[in-house]
Structure 1
Amino acid sequence: MRAIGEQALLIAAGLTLALANPSAATMPLTVAGFLVSVAYAGLVEGLAPEHGRWLGYAGAGYAVAAVLFPQWCAFLPLIAYDCARSPAFFDARRWRRIIDRGIGLIWLVPLVVLLMRDGAVDGFAPSVPVIVTAVTLLGNGLGSARVEAHTLRRTLQRTQDRARHDSRIMRIRLSDIDEERARAVRMATLGERTRIAREIHDNVGHLLTRAIMQAQAGKAIADATGAPHASQGYAALGDTLNDAMTMIRRSVHDLEDDGTDFTAQIADAVHSFSGVSSGFSVRLLNGIGAAPAPVARCLATVIRESLSNVVRHSKAKQATVTLRDFPAFWQLVVQDEGPSRHDGPADGGTGRIDSSTAGTDDDIEGLRGMGLSDIETRVRALGGTSLCGPYQGGWRVFVSLPKTRWSQHPSDAMR
């Protein structure tokens, strides 16, 4: 908008100079010069910067015409203004750069010719050539200032955009650093809790167990020798030690549960098999946020055993591990799309068979190996059930662990 306002002022100045001493004979040339200059200004506004060089040539053409038609010099301020604003696409060759810069200043030629005529121009007052020269130089300077202001504004915008971009990147990095620091602190805290629980279990627990056995032995000896008072004392001591053992066991299991990051433990079990063979990937769908430490260890072990079975005895390119948290139980499903590698009955001890060759339940039971037996043993130890077998062309391991025994205190459930 500022450029249009400046152009309007220069057009008004040109009309004022052209009509300062009007002549009927030169009026057509004056009108033609006015129309051509306005058309050129419109081209500069509409076509720049894609056609900067050709606009420069057009401005040079107007300057040449102004030499032939001095009345056109009244509108040279507008031409000089637009020539200064026309973008120049300078060539790498030196001679071409010189030509382009010369074309941008060719409007000086008609001014020199106008001044050399010493006011002998039909339709111009004697002082008009000097005023035209001054206004033209002012218009060119104004156009150069407009270009410089535009360049500085664009540079400022780019600098601000770059600063905002750098600020966003810095905030993202700081957020990542904060998350990593929080994760490291949490892992260190969990590790320390696990270490404390292990030391209590290994040291204090063994000492209390020995003291309980000594109290029971003393009570047995007192009963055998007929010392009822001593027997009662040993019995009371044994009860106290048993209560202490129960409290320590609860504390150890509480620390162990707090020191177990269920999500990280499951993710580690899954991701350890991602990419273990060419083109093989594992997809994890974890709907369990937290679980007791024994449950977490059991599920992680079952996942590792199941994925190991898939890698060794299946041609599947993908396996899916799904964990669901129901109100009464936790559920784990590990499934691959198959097919089996047809390794035969001696299948590495995992019990993996192909669904296309599966017969009766007795056939499947006869092919059970150490891998499936280990899964079943671990699941049964927590009161759960497991089902392993062919499913939809592949193989599925289905595990369900009840929450009933964990509704009590975890240490009581493990006794």
Structure 2
Amino acid sequence: MRSLIDKTLLLLLAMVLTFPDDVSTLIGVLTVISCSCLVEWLLYQTNKYSCIAWILLIIIIMACIPIGSWCVLLPVVVYDMPRLPVRNEIAFAPLLMWIARCIWVLPLMWHGITAFDRTIVVIAVVTVISFAWGSSSHDTAQFRHELRRVQDHARTLARTSRRSKAEFEEERAQSVRMATLNERTRIAREIHDNVGHLLTRAIMQAQAGKAVADATGDETAAHEFAALTDTASAAMTMVRRSVHDLADDGTDFAAQIEDAVRSVGSASPDFAVTLSNEVSDAPAAVARCFSMVIRESLSNVVRHSGATSASVTIREFPALWQLVVQDPGPARHDDRQQIDDDDAMRGMGLADIDSRVRALAGMASCGPYDGGWRVFVTVPKHRQDTSLNGGNNG
């Protein structure tokens, strides 16, 4: 667009120098305008069209020798000469380039020798200025293109840097979270292994002392031992609840689910499991239940089905969690004894799944589906507090 404005100004200057008062000059103006627009279009195409642009400009320049009135239009034509690309595979390309770009000197020299006047000098000066103007415009366009390329590269590097930084921050946060969860699990284990056993021994000693006091008729000592037993039992209950809370806080739902899927998939190299987990966090009881259901379901697929793949899908809804384990089938049929054994084992596994899900007030549906087998489990959210409290008290 900027080059078109420049060439329009040069054309207006040519019109001022010599107003087209004859047909040949008017034809030259129209020809130069058409050629200039065509060259401008060719410059935006691939380099394979550059030869056409060179040929058009050289033809017009050489036509200025027999048609002297066209010389006034040379500045418009010469403006495009420095802007044309050169094919480097041509032999002596740099030398030929400068010869071709300076070919506009021939008509000026011809008319300067045959009919020298002030007009030829003015046209020559304007043509030189036009050539320098076109060269400067070409260099500016190249610099602008290179600047855009550098800016694009800088933006790409910035995006890559931000992405790498975000991934690093995510990995660091995950590492900190895993370290925190592992530390909570370790603390819970230490409390259970040390404090729990000491409290259990204290309760047993207090109960033994109360039994001895009752046998000897020492009511005061029996009353004190009973109070000590109650206090130690209450402390044991609080420790047990704290241990359960720490263990639950130390449960990573996603890691536990991935471990359950990986444990079955790694045991059978020819068996592929696809996991789709939309749940990032859930109570420890739900994590343990889903992990057990996944292991049991995938084990059933490996033992009782001829499928080479299975899918595990976990979704979270406002009121419940959903687990679907499905294989495409078909079922494997061996001898009758093997079928009976498989059915018995499948029945025990499905009963275990049903009991674990019902303990969380959920529902489990297991059966044939779309040529294969599907285990469909739902666990409500609003019942988890009650279920967890009941489990902790045990």
Q: TM-score, normalised by structure 2?
A: 0.85
Amino acid in structure 2 at the alignment position of 1:36: T
**Matched position secondary structure for 2:92:** helix
Residue pairs, 1:322-333, within 5 angstroms? 322-323=313-314, 332-333=323-324
* Cα distance in 1 for residues equivalent to 2:388 and 2:12: 94
Residue pairs, 1:288-299, within 5 angstroms? 289-291=281-283, 293-299=284-290
State which of 153, 159, 175 in structure 1 corresponds to 2:166: 175
Residues 310 and 336 of structure 1 are in contact (CA less than 8 Å); yes or no, is this contact kept in structure 2? yes
* Cα distance in 2 for residues equivalent to 1:165 and 1:247: 56
Compared CA separation, residues 383 and 218, structure 1 to 2 (3 A): farther
Moved more, 187-196 or 267-276: 267-276
Matched, 1:76 2:81: no
State which of 373, 376, 381 in structure 2 corresponds to 1:395: 373
Query: Aligned residue for 2:64?
Result: 66
**Matched position secondary structure for 1:94:** coil
Query: Aligned residue for 2:4?
Result: 4
Query: Aligned residue for 1:110?
Result: 107
Moved more, 264-273 or 254-263: 264-273
* Cα distance in 2 for residues equivalent to 1:127 and 1:252: 106
Query: Aligned residue for 1:18?
Result: 18
State which of 99, 103, 112 in structure 1 corresponds to 2:96: 99
Moved more, 168-177 or 136-145: 168-177
Moved more, 322-331 or 34-43: 322-331
Residues 60 and 106 of structure 1 are in contact (CA less than 8 Å); yes or no, is this contact kept in structure 2? yes
Matched, 1:341 2:332: yes
- In the TM superposition, residue 15 of structure 1 has moved relative to its aligned partner by 2.6
State which of 72, 85, 89 in structure 2 corresponds to 1:88: 85
Residues 86 and 93 of structure 2 are in contact (CA less than 8 Å); yes or no, is this contact kept in structure 1? no
Compared CA separation, residues 145 and 96, structure 1 to 2 (3 A): closer
Matched, 1:282 2:260: no
- In the TM superposition, residue 140 of structure 1 has moved relative to its aligned partner by 0.6
**How many aligned positions are there?**
389
State which of 133, 156, 159 in structure 1 corresponds to 2:150: 159
Compared CA separation, residues 54 and 200, structure 1 to 2 (3 A): same
- Structural RMSD (CA): 3.3
Compared CA separation, residues 330 and 171, structure 1 to 2 (3 A): closer
- In the TM superposition, residue 118 of structure 1 has moved relative to its aligned partner by 5.3
Matched, 1:206 2:201: no
Residues 203 and 229 of structure 2 are in contact (CA less than 8 Å); yes or no, is this contact kept in structure 1? yes
Matched, 1:410 2:380: no
State which of 308, 314, 328 in structure 1 corresponds to 2:305: 314
- In the TM superposition, residue 9 of structure 1 has moved relative to its aligned partner by 2.4
Give the fraction of aligned pairs with identical amino acids, expressed as a percent: 46
Residues 273 and 282 of structure 1 are in contact (CA less than 8 Å); yes or no, is this contact kept in structure 2? no
Compared CA separation, residues 312 and 98, structure 1 to 2 (3 A): farther
Moved more, 242-251 or 75-84: 75-84
State which of 259, 263, 281 in structure 2 corresponds to 1:268: 259
Compared CA separation, residues 268 and 12, structure 1 to 2 (3 A): same
- In the TM superposition, residue 322 of structure 1 has moved relative to its aligned partner by 4.7
Tell me, which stretches of 5 or more residues in structure 1 are unaligned? 120-125, 354-365
Residues 322 and 376 of structure 2 are in contact (CA less than 8 Å); yes or no, is this contact kept in structure 1? yes
Q: TM-score, normalised by structure 1?
A: 0.81
Residues 82 and 138 of structure 2 are in contact (CA less than 8 Å); yes or no, is this contact kept in structure 1? yes
Residues 323 and 333 of structure 1 are in contact (CA less than 8 Å); yes or no, is this contact kept in structure 2? yes
Query: Aligned residue for 1:39?
Result: 34
Higher helix share: 2
Q: Deviations over 1:10-38 (max 9, x none)?
A: 2232233335xx9x8xx344333333322
Amino acid in structure 1 at the alignment position of 2:254: T
